[in-house]
A and B are shown apart, each in its own frame.
Chain A
Amino acid sequence: KAGVTQTPRYLIKTRGQQVTLSCSPISGHRSVSWYQQTPGQGLQFLFEYFSETQRNKGNFPGRFSGRQFSNSRSEMNVSTLELGDSALYLCASSRGADPHGIFGQGTRLTVV
């Protein structure tokens, strides 16, 4: 059974640019959650999608957005990148009825 796949693994962007990250959940999982991990802040919840609908959203500015496709794959987009957006972005998938999310390896974004 393939795990949660996040692409790309590493990314370097310039301030002001935008970026799109992708997450392919485990087959059969309909929920995808996104988190930002920075040193000292732990995992900050961005948003959660279930069956193409955003069910929950964390306290991030509108520059952070996401979507989910009919095959449950999800993308998150960050526009007008800032230096402080440099972080490890993790997604987790689950069936949706249980909170045991399985995480991908993450995308490490560096904004210069």
Chain B
Amino acid sequence: DQQVKQNSPSLSVQEGRISILNCDYTNSMFDYFLWYKKYPAEGPTFLISISSIKDKNEDGRFTVFLNKSAKHLSLHIVPSQPGDSAVYFCAASAEWNMRFGAGTRLTVKP
């Protein structure tokens, strides 16, 4: 049931540079997309979201881009900071049906 895929299990970037995390989905019924961040021993915390009627949403250092025709979304973090090191999950929602990707572990090196 891999309706949401994060094909990169890990990503390493230098502090101050851009981090780009990618996510693909297969179900065209999804109309709301979210990114969650997870630290070890904690539950995921909501980061940023985007509705299918938009193609971009910004919140500080975080920007989410949505390409509906390609069924692809990405999360950009600029500039990356060591505290951003965590596992990032993308999620897609249609009504009460939410599916998560497998996660990408981001490591930001000082």
Which residues of A come within 8 Å of B, CB atoms? 4, 31, 33, 35, 40-45, 48, 50, 55-56, 58-59, 90, 92, 96, 99-106
Chain A residues near B98: list those with CB within 8 A: 33, 45, 48, 99, 101
Contact of B97 with A56 in the complex, beta carbons under 8 Å:
yes
B interface list, Cβ under 8 A from A: 1, 6, 9, 32, 34, 36, 41-46, 49, 89, 91, 93, 96-103
Residues of B within 8 A of A44 (CB): 1, 100
Given known contacts A100-B49, A104-B43, A106-B43, is B1 in contact with A58 (CB within 8 Å)? Answer: yes
Q: Can you pick out 9 interface pairs between chain A and chain B where the beta carbons lie within 8 Å of each other?
A: A33-B98, A40-B102, A43-B89, A44-B100, A55-B96, A90-B44, A99-B98, A103-B44, A105-B43
The answer for the CA separation of A100 and B1 in the assembled complex, in Å, is 22
A42 vs B90: C-alpha distance when bound (angstroms): 10
CB distance from B22 to the nearest CB of A (A): 14
User: How long is the Cα–Cα vector from A58 to B34 in the complex, in angstroms?
Assistant: 19
CA A100 to CA B44, docked complex, whole Å: 11
- Cβ contact of B44, chosen from A43, A45, A59, cutoff 8 A: A43
